[in-house]
Amino acid sequence: MKSNPKISILVPVRNDAAMIPNCLADIDNQSLTDYELVVVDDGSTDQTPLLLEKACQDDSRIRMIRTEPQGIVSALNTGLTECKGQYIARMDADDRMHKTRLEKQLELMQKDPELELIGCRVEGFTEKGLLPESAVHYHSWNNSLISHQQIENDLFAESPIVHPTFFAKKDLLNKIGGYSENPWAEDYDLILRAYGKCAKFGKHPDILVQKYHSPGRLSRLDPMYKRPAMFEAKVHYLLEFGLIKKNQGVLIAGTGPTGRQAAQSFENRGVRLLGFVDNRPGPPNRQVKGLPAWGFKKLPPLEFINKFRNNLIVLGIGDATGQKLFADFLRKSDFIENKDFVRVIYNWK
């Protein structure tokens, strides 16, 4: 009787006929061969099913499940129920991976049995031209987070592990109930829920996945991946994890787009906003969104910030240098990150 494979590679697809051959080739070229590939076809209308049927005939490790078009969360959960491996490795049809990806991620997990969900460093590519500046910044920041502590510290800045690099224990995914349907990104939601279950994170320091950036990619078009939805997720879990009580109130550092979006998301949840602080001194009664706005040319004095020790300070400063200075100031003043203050936008290197 054939034993279950150690790793299940989970790939959701829909109309990916142009990309799936390269994806299949990368998987076939893996240095580690004890895997199964579970592909969930979420209602393709192109040649994708035919290509996958041939792949299944050529390689018994490949299985395809076809469904009506129900979206990526449904496809992922359908696939999870079919996966037999001890570990689940995520992959998207339009991304590429190094031939040692599975081997190296498995080695990292086995080296530290406490790890439950890891990723790896990534690099981006396009069909032509340069990567968008936002993608360069995101990858630079994401690749700087390797240890559990680094990932935890930046948890509310943005999704700290790139989805097609996920390599997780199936027991963890079962424990948190798989993926969840929400008005925000399913991968970020899964990481946050795993954190809520005290999961230990990590990341392989090598670049093992190449992430494709296309103007038509779902993550660039669907509202669930846009800024307002991501901030709804952040505020939802800040409340769920008890980092803020509704009667305590929030001070927003930064009055630019990020600070204002954070304020709006807190308002949507009924959280009391105390006001804003930034580096733009103005009249004594200056307001932003109808709330007090205190401006200081540099950092606020300690006696001012001490007034908010029983509240949550939210750093929504878009300038990377400015945010780092403010965060360092709070740390040196004995404010604890992700307890007394939280960063909701990332710093890139």
Q: Do 62 and 94 fall into the same domain?
A: yes
Residues with Cβ within 8 Å of residue 153, at least 6 apart in sequence? 337, 338
Q: Do 168 and 39 fall into the same domain?
A: yes
2 part of a folded domain: no
Q: Do 80 and 218 fall into the same domain?
A: yes
Q: Do 160 and 221 fall into the same domain?
A: yes
Q: Do 214 and 281 fall into the same domain?
A: no
Structural domains counted in the chain: 2
Q: Do 219 and 264 fall into the same domain?
A: no
Q: What is the pLDDT at residue 247?
A: 62
The C-alpha atoms of residue 7 and residue 95 are separated, in whole angstroms, by 19
Query: 304 is in which domain, residue-wise?
Result: 243-343
Q: Do 113 and 173 fall into the same domain?
A: yes
212 part of a folded domain: yes
Q: The sheet that has 96-97: what strands, in order across it?
A: 62-67, 35-42, 7-13, 87-90, 167-169, 115-125, 200-212, 96-97
Q: Do 219 and 295 fall into the same domain?
A: no
Q: Do 95 and 127 fall into the same domain?
A: yes
Percent of the chain beyond pLDDT 90?
85
141 part of a folded domain: yes
Q: Residue 117 is part of a domain; what is its CATH number?
A: 3.90.550.10
Q: Do 220 and 260 fall into the same domain?
A: no
pLDDT tens by residue, 101-139:
999 999 999 999 999 999 999 999 998 878 888 889 999
Q: What is the pLDDT at residue 225?
A: 72
Q: Do 201 and 285 fall into the same domain?
A: no
348 part of a folded domain: no
Structure tokens at 288: 């932003």
Q: Do 220 and 267 fall into the same domain?
A: no
Reported confidence tier of residue 1, pLDDT bands at 50, 70, 90: very low
pLDDT tens by residue, 160-219:
999 999 999 999 999 999 999 999 999 999 999 999 999 999 999 999 999 998 765 555
Q: Residue 265 is part of a domain; what is its CATH number?
A: 3.40.50.720
Nearest CA to 9 among 146, 24, 210? 24
Q: What is the pLDDT at residue 34?
A: 96
Q: What is the pLDDT at residue 134?
A: 85
Q: What is the pLDDT at residue 118?
A: 98
Coil/strand/helix, residue 198: coil
